[in-house]
Structure 1
Amino acid sequence: AVSRAQMPGFLSIDCGGAANYTDARGLRWTSDAGLIATGTPISTPNTSSTDTQYATLRAFPSDGAKHCYALPVATRARYLLRATFLYAGFDGDDAFPEFDLYLGATRWSPVVVYDGARLVTREAVVLAQSSTVSVCLSNATTGRPFISTLELRPLNGSLYRTDAEARAFLALAARINFGAPSPDPVRYPDDPYDRIWESDMVRRANYLVDAAPGTVNVSTDKPVFVATSERPPEKVMQTAVVGTLGELTYRLNLNGFPGDGWAFSYFAEIEESVVPETRKFKLFIPGLPDVSKATVDVGENAPGKLRLYQPGYYNVSLPFVLSFAFRKTNDSSRGPILNAFEIYKYVEIEPGSPDALAMASLASRYTSLGDWANEGGDPCWPSPWSWVRCSSEPQLRVVSINLSGKNLTGGVPPELVALSFLAEIRLDDNMLTGPIPDLAASSNLSIIHFENNQLTGSVPSYLSSLPKLTELYLQNNKLSGYIPKALKSRGIIFNYAGNMDLKRQGIKRSTTW
């Protein structure tokens, strides 16, 4: 068992798990039972994994709704976010599941199961824009959406910092440990940030194929200096592949590409008999001549042995099928070396609804009242909350709220004032108190239902100025004062019966004007 204490800020969620526990790596796993209001915990049959977190999953109905986890984060902090999916034939269906994974309102990645026994992993590096990050499953085209684990790892300092991080996050396409001694990945505690470095011994169709003849593994047990921007773990840098015949070649499919990406390679001279200055090589990528100009000189950029050099591109356009070669230069006596590389795709962040913050604040008032207040994610996208309707043009805006009979207490939620595109509000049959708020900015309001509450104060005069108002229900409250005269000339359905202190100015207490 690992005795090392877990890094601060780690969050490991066992989806569908019934209890909290600590695994053999020293990672503390938390059941998702109190973190999501929907879905069904399921024990996975026929799984060969010995990891406890893959003994269960949480499955969701294929109902067109989105199902979201809200993960606590520190605003403006950078995180590695990982979601995993081990199908294991949990539903006995002949069709493998296919659905979408969302980060807030942004489509992160499709999740497509091709092999029920193979773990599907999605990773992203995100800069937290608020105090929570929403991970949502939606849009199932076959089968049921499901999830096995969610993991959140804080990234310190300069790790994966980009100029675009406020408008795009990084979605992992490949993170490879070359020259690995076994198929096992390298991760925590060897990597303190718990990145998973996949072994180059794990080969699959169209992934790390077309290796050049003469490719051999080399390794060292001596310490390697790794204090560069991304700090790959020493264990990864202690192994490498070398092209003894002058070149290293590989071909792999990059999930999510073509597109703009972040790509870095990690080199360290770990062969004891090599004078570093004798190893120089160039990168060649067919169809990308500008990228192929770089010469890698480990000895010049990381003087001496056992020191990391990480050249790469913060923004480079890459194809879906990436073929590349490292070839030694004419003045080099040794073939190229490669310890590791990482490739991420930039995923542009969709802003979602401008009403998202106000709606999240509104829902947070009532989280104890039911699942409806805990749906999470963007209120409008990719599907609206169950009690919300939205418009889509020119922006995603909340146009209707229906919270009839939800046992609401306290005042009318003040967040309504900020929802300037509202056309319909239904808050009837609750226990709301206090005055009717100023909704004058919501000039599209046509239907207002506040009946059967305990509202007090007067009927606001601005109601008569709402140009589209057609239906106003205020009956059975505790309103007082006079009904605004201007409402008399409006051809609207207006019910105000049951407000004993509401003065009619000589008008019969009709339910319709």
Structure 2
Amino acid sequence: MGRFKHFIAALFGGLALILLVHAQDQSDFISIDCGLQANWSYTEPSTSINYISDAAFIDTGVSKKISSEFEGDFQQPTWTLRSFPEGIRNCYSINVTQGQKYLIRATFLYGNYDGQNLLPQFDLHLGPNMWDTVKIENNVSYVVLMELIHVPSLNYLQVCLVNTGLGTPFISAIEFRPLNNRAYVTSVGSLALFARYDLGSVNNKSYRYKDDVYDRTWAAKHYNKWKSLSTSLTIDSEMYNPYWVPSVVMSTAATPINESGPLEFYLPPEANSKYYVYMHFAELVKLKANQSRSFNITLNGELWYDGTVVPSYLFTNTLFSPSALTGGNYVFSIFKTENSTLPPIINAIEIYTVKHFPQSETDKQDGMLFVTQVKLLMRVHHRNLTTLVGYYYEGANMGLIYEYMANGDLEAHLSGENTNILSWEARLQIAMDAAQGLEYLHHGCKPPIIHRDVKSTNILLNEKFRAKLADFGLSKTFPTDDTHLSTVVAGTPGYLDPE
């Protein structure tokens, strides 16, 4: 029996070591230094993280360097940047693992790279969705960090800079760090970092990789009503704990100066914000037989965690919100139980806000199909079809460019919105023009094209009120030998044109 226990202990210890070694390997990191010369790479001295140029991920923008006076104050990934003086929306396209949870970090240091001393403001998007607004505030050496925990639904993601007319967008670095999929579970949405604190720190240092295997940044935080506890021993994570908070962070803890009082902290009242809170605990003191430490956690006076918390000696325990906290004022209180001889502690805390990304990324196959269909349509020419003169395909945005039709669409004339009154002769001619356009699509094209959304708003009129069919965005080609008819719905849902 004794040998079996030793075998089980060794087995679990070996598994923990394998998991940790795998997590420490940065081979799955994506570390992009924006603006770095093409094909260049380097190892950042303070973190030992390998960075590569962004040239393979984007073909727009210009490379710039921050003013040399700031280089000594910041790490190398912020020395260069890519700015986007042209175009409203510029996107990086980055290959990722579909379904893998990532920490995504975007870094911005203006550093007066353009010599203008003008602090820009612009939007940051993840694919088609708004991530956040980047505001360079206070001074030219102000660093903005945007961090997100997100699970991509496709095998690539786009990080986009959007010009909002308040300055030229730019970006210094983009980083992707794979996380354990069991960590940071939410009922809905992605998570944007609000705060991540090393509580009870005794040196005011911040920590990231290699101390943190996931390369999270932990900032020291102090409150005047708290004091610090610390240990020189290693703090391990429980086998079931996927958060892997660094030992150097967990080796300090905050406890109230008034040992009979609570630890308290607040969340700001943001009407539209939803919060997830993750608290990390570890006992740092080898308790004597007559000592005990247990405490409860309340939120606005109500139990936040259903049960008494008893931290494990030199092991990390993590407690988190089962669901998002929505709006209002939040006061967390951690106070010792009646039977506890020692005050409460907390070692670290993470707070995130929920980010909803309702629009899905465009699949690469959809994009390829779009381009193929457009090239086919550009070869279609008929007097009763609007001429497709071009298209744009920028990241998640796709569009068709047709010839200009002076008298707009038929719907405006039939509904009375336009002052021009169509005679019955003109109406008959328009119907014949539309029919001839459809006839050409069905029988004059090889392969045949089915429009699939014929309605009055898709019949356009030129300066002579001759009609041309438009909006081929929903058109579909069919092989001439196709014996099967698709029943997939397309066009305007629930619509049958009364005209």
TM more than 0.5: yes
Matches within 5 A, 1:13-412: 13-18=32-37, 19-24=40-45, 25-45=47-67, 46-47=69-70, 48-61=72-85, 63=87, 65-115=88-138, 116-164=140-188, 168-200=189-221, 211-227=223-239, 228-245=241-258, 246-251=261-266, 258-273=272-287, 278-285=292-299, 288-290=300-302, 292=304, 296-299=308-311, 302=312, 305-319=313-327, 323-351=331-359, 358-359=366-367, 361-362=369-370, 375-376=394-395, 378-379=396-397
Q: In proportion to residue count, which structure has more strand?
A: 1
Supply the AA of the counterpart residue of 2:348.
A
Unaligned regions of 5+ residues in structure 2, if any? 1-22, 375-390, 403-444, 462-466, 472-499
Q: 1:80 to 1:274 in 2, by over 3 A?
A: farther
Counterpart contact for 1:364–1:373, Cα < 8 Å: no
What SS does the aligned partner of 2:370 have? helix
- Counterpart CA distance in 2 for 1:137 and 1:150 is 12
1:243 positional shift:
1.5
- Counterpart CA distance in 2 for 1:236 and 1:375 is 43
What SS does the aligned partner of 2:323 have? strand
What SS does the aligned partner of 1:150 have? strand
Deviations 1:280-308, CA, capped at 9 Å, x for gaps: 233344xx444556555224xx4xx1122
1:326 positional shift:
2.2
1:20 positional shift:
1.1
Counterpart contact for 1:260–1:345, Cα < 8 Å: yes
What SS does the aligned partner of 1:310 have? strand
Q: 1:471 to 1:157 in 2, by over 3 A?
A: closer
Counterpart contact for 2:199–2:348, Cα < 8 Å: yes
Counterpart contact for 1:258–1:320, Cα < 8 Å: no
1:319 positional shift:
4.7
- Counterpart CA distance in 2 for 1:447 and 1:49 is 60
- Counterpart CA distance in 1 for 2:271 and 2:52 is 33
Counterpart contact for 2:187–2:323, Cα < 8 Å: no
Sequence identity (%):
27
Counterpart contact for 2:235–2:282, Cα < 8 Å: no
1:340 positional shift:
0.6
Q: In proportion to residue count, which structure has more helix?
A: 2
Deviations 1:180-223, CA, capped at 9 Å, x for gaps: 2433322112221212222226xxxxxxxxx2424224233234
Q: 1:221 to 1:58 in 2, by over 3 A?
A: same
Supply the AA of the counterpart residue of 2:318.
Q
What SS does the aligned partner of 2:110 have? coil
1:81 positional shift:
0.8
Counterpart contact for 2:94–2:157, Cα < 8 Å: yes
1:318 positional shift:
4.8
User: What residue in structure 2 maps to residue 458 of structure 1?
Assistant: none
- Counterpart CA distance in 2 for 1:315 and 1:66 is 35
TM-score of the superposed pair, with normalisation by structure 1: 0.65
- Counterpart CA distance in 1 for 2:470 and 2:181 is 56
**How many residues are paired up?**
377
Counterpart contact for 1:67–1:137, Cα < 8 Å: yes
Q: 1:61 to 1:176 in 2, by over 3 A?
A: same
User: What residue in structure 1 maps to residue 27 of structure 2?
Assistant: 8
TM-score of the superposed pair, with normalisation by structure 2: 0.66
1:78 positional shift:
1.4
RMSD: 3.6
Deviations 1:228-273, CA, capped at 9 Å, x for gaps: 132222222112112231332334659x874222211000001235
Counterpart contact for 2:201–2:228, Cα < 8 Å: no
Q: 1:320 to 1:187 in 2, by over 3 A?
A: farther
1:362 positional shift:
3.5
Counterpart contact for 1:241–1:339, Cα < 8 Å: yes
Matches within 5 A, 1:378-457: 378-379=396-397, 435=446, 438-443=449-454, 446=459
Q: 1:185 to 1:469 in 2, by over 3 A?
A: same
Supply the AA of the counterpart residue of 1:77.
Q
Q: 1:323 to 1:96 in 2, by over 3 A?
A: farther
Q: 1:388 to 1:159 in 2, by over 3 A?
A: farther
1:124 positional shift:
1.1
- Counterpart CA distance in 1 for 2:210 and 2:401 is 45
Deviations 1:327-376, CA, capped at 9 Å, x for gaps: 2233322221111111112211222588986236535999xxxxx97731
Deviations 1:460-493, CA, capped at 9 Å, x for gaps: xxxxxxxx84479xxxxxxxxxxxxxxxxxxxxx
- Counterpart CA distance in 1 for 2:322 and 2:295 is 21
Counterpart contact for 1:244–1:335, Cα < 8 Å: no
